[in-house]
């Protein structure tokens, strides 16, 4: 199991593409825009002073539209892209300052990556694809296959070990990619638009697979997406990028309830608030109601609404993990919170 403390700290990270990138950092710090930098100096601003604390053992989603810098950002975590300035810290060590030997070890043992286009080796079977990372680490064939078999089964592909990628559907191929990443037993799982190429129903299925696995494994997962519904479903924390800069970060609830500006408000206006907002946000804290009906702390509003409908009552106590009441919630407040648009 991954160390819950093994988060990632990104501090003052800049990436500027061009031959004189380091000389351009001060211009960006002084307020030069991405457009102006390109027009005047023919340099492209990829990341602009990124500061994100990615929690250990949780799912950090980074989302934004095409060109926002999200894929550039994730490639700094395992230093597939060299930064112009800044730090990427894991367990107090700056990835940006690692030697070639240290970086190789970090990539092999601490991180694993799942790609949008699956990145499977077409001439290898499912089993041979999944053990590939262990082969590079020098793990013996028998142990490697035993470890791989466990994860192949966990992602629902038992019986497909001898199939080749072209014999599998897109969803099954992505399960192979996930099994390969998990077999390496890395602390950090980097997922770059991992489900974006999948059909909608398969995509939702893969999201559930990931959430079920994460409940057991508690990996530090960095998940890149351009889809807000996916971000809200998966993310313990969400950071939204625009033009290489962080526009807003926080929990899904915080972003939906208090969008930082009109850009974020446009993102969240069509969100199903009942699936995002928790009863704790709406309840009257410290009160109890004379009713046997209860909903668990942390429940989504849509689940609370379903509980009210099934019971035919209008008020419930919100209870903690020990069953002790910590507040009350009414069906009126539940429905109001589900349909009231976010203000900004």
Q: Does the residue 115 lie in any domain?
A: no
User: How far apart are alpha carbons 83 and 46 in whole angstroms?
Assistant: 10
Q: Write the CATH number for 290.
A: 3.10.580.10
33-55 as b/e, with b when 16 or more CB fall inside 10 Å? ebeebeeeeebbbbbbbbebebe
- C-beta neighbour count of 252 within 10 angstroms: 23
pLDDT computed for residue 74 by the predictor = 95
Q: Computed from CA positions of residues 241, 242, 248, 254, in that sequence, does the dihedral angle turn out positive or negative? A: negative
Q: pLDDT tens digits, residue range 221-267?
A: 999 999 888 999 999 999 999 999 999 999 998 999 889 998 888 88
- C-beta neighbour count of 164 within 10 angstroms: 16
pLDDT computed for residue 3 by the predictor = 40
Is residue 236 domain-shared with residue 293, that is, in the same domain?
no
- Asked whether residue 342 carries a pLDDT value surpassing 70, the answer given is no
CA 260 to chain centroid, in Å, comes to 20
Q: Domain of 331?
A: 274-339
- Asked whether residue 2 carries a pLDDT value surpassing 60, the answer given is no
Is residue 221 domain-shared with residue 317, that is, in the same domain?
no
pLDDT computed for residue 5 by the predictor = 56
Q: Does the residue 164 lie in any domain?
A: no
Is residue 214 domain-shared with residue 298, that is, in the same domain?
no
Q: Stretch 180-198: mean pLDDT, rounded?
A: 88
What total of structural domains would you count in the chain?
Answer: 2
Q: Stretch 118-133: mean pLDDT, rounded?
A: 90
pLDDT computed for residue 29 by the predictor = 94
Is residue 263 domain-shared with residue 334, that is, in the same domain?
no
Is residue 192 domain-shared with residue 295, that is, in the same domain?
no
User: How far apart are alpha carbons 257 and 278 in whole angstroms?
Assistant: 11
Is residue 196 domain-shared with residue 84, that is, in the same domain?
yes
Q: Stretch 7-19: mean pLDDT, rounded?
A: 96
Assess contact for 103 and 76: CB atoms under 8 A.
no
- Asked whether residue 109 carries a pLDDT value surpassing 90, the answer given is no
Q: Write the CATH number for 211.
A: 3.40.50.300
Q: Stretch 49-59: mean pLDDT, rounded?
A: 96
Q: pLDDT tens digits, residue range 267-280?
A: 888 888 888 899 99
pLDDT computed for residue 344 by the predictor = 41
Q: Does the residue 176 lie in any domain?
A: no
Is residue 292 domain-shared with residue 313, that is, in the same domain?
yes
Q: Does the residue 179 lie in any domain?
A: no
Give the bridge partners for 332, in sequence order. none
Residue 60 has, within 13 A of its CA and on its CB side, a CA count of 25
Q: Describe the strand order of the beta sheet including 315-319 as a list of residue ranges.
A: 284-285, 325-330, 315-319, 294-296
Residue with tokens 């909903």: 295
In this prediction the pTM is 0.86
Is residue 199 domain-shared with residue 293, that is, in the same domain?
no
Assess contact for 118 and 178: CB atoms under 8 A.
no
- C-beta neighbour count of 27 within 10 angstroms: 16
More confident: 287 or 49: 49
């Amino acid at each position: 199991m991954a160390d819950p403390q093994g988060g990632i700290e990104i501090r003052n990270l800049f990436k500027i593409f061009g031959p004189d990138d380091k000389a351009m950092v001060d211009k960006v710090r002084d307020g030069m825009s991405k457009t102006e930098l390109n027009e005047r100096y023919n340099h492209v601003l990829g990341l602009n002073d990124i500061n994100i604390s990615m929690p250990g053992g949780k799912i950090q989603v980074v989302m934004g539209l095409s060109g926002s810098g999200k894929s550039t950002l994730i490639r700094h975590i395992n230093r597939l892209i060299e930064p112009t300035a800044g730090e990427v810290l894991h367990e107090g060590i700056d990835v940006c300052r690692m030697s070639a030997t240290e970086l190789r070890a970090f990539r092999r043992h601490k991180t694993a990556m799942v790609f949008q286009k699956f990145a499977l080796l077409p001439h290898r079977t499912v089993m041979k694809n999944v053990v590939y990372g262990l082969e590079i680490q020098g793990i013996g064939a028998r142990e490697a296959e035993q470890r791989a078999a466990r994860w192949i089964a966990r992602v629902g592909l038992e019986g497909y070990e001898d199939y080749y990628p072209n014999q599998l559907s897109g969803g099954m191929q992505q399960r192979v990619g996930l099994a390969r990443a998990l077999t390496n037993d890395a602390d950090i799982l980097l997922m770059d638009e991992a489900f974006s190429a999948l059909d909608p129903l398969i995509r939702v299925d893969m999201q559930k697979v990931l959430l079920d696995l994460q409940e057991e494994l508690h990996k530090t997962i960095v998940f890149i997406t351009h889809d807000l519904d996916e971000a809200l479903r998966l993310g313990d924390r969400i950071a939204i990028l625009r033009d290489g800069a962080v526009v807003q970060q926080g929990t899904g609830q915080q972003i939906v309830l208090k969008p930082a500006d009109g850009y974020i408000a446009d993102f969240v206006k069509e969100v199903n608030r009942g699936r995002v907002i928790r009863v704790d946000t709406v309840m009257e804290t410290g009160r109890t109601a004379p009713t046997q009906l209860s909903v668990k702390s942390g429940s989504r509003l849509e689940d609370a609404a379903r509980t009210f409908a099934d019971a035919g009552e209008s008020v419930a106590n919100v209870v903690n993990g020990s069953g002790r009441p910590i507040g009350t919630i009414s069906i009126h407040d539940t429905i109001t919170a589900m349909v009231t648009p976010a203000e900004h």
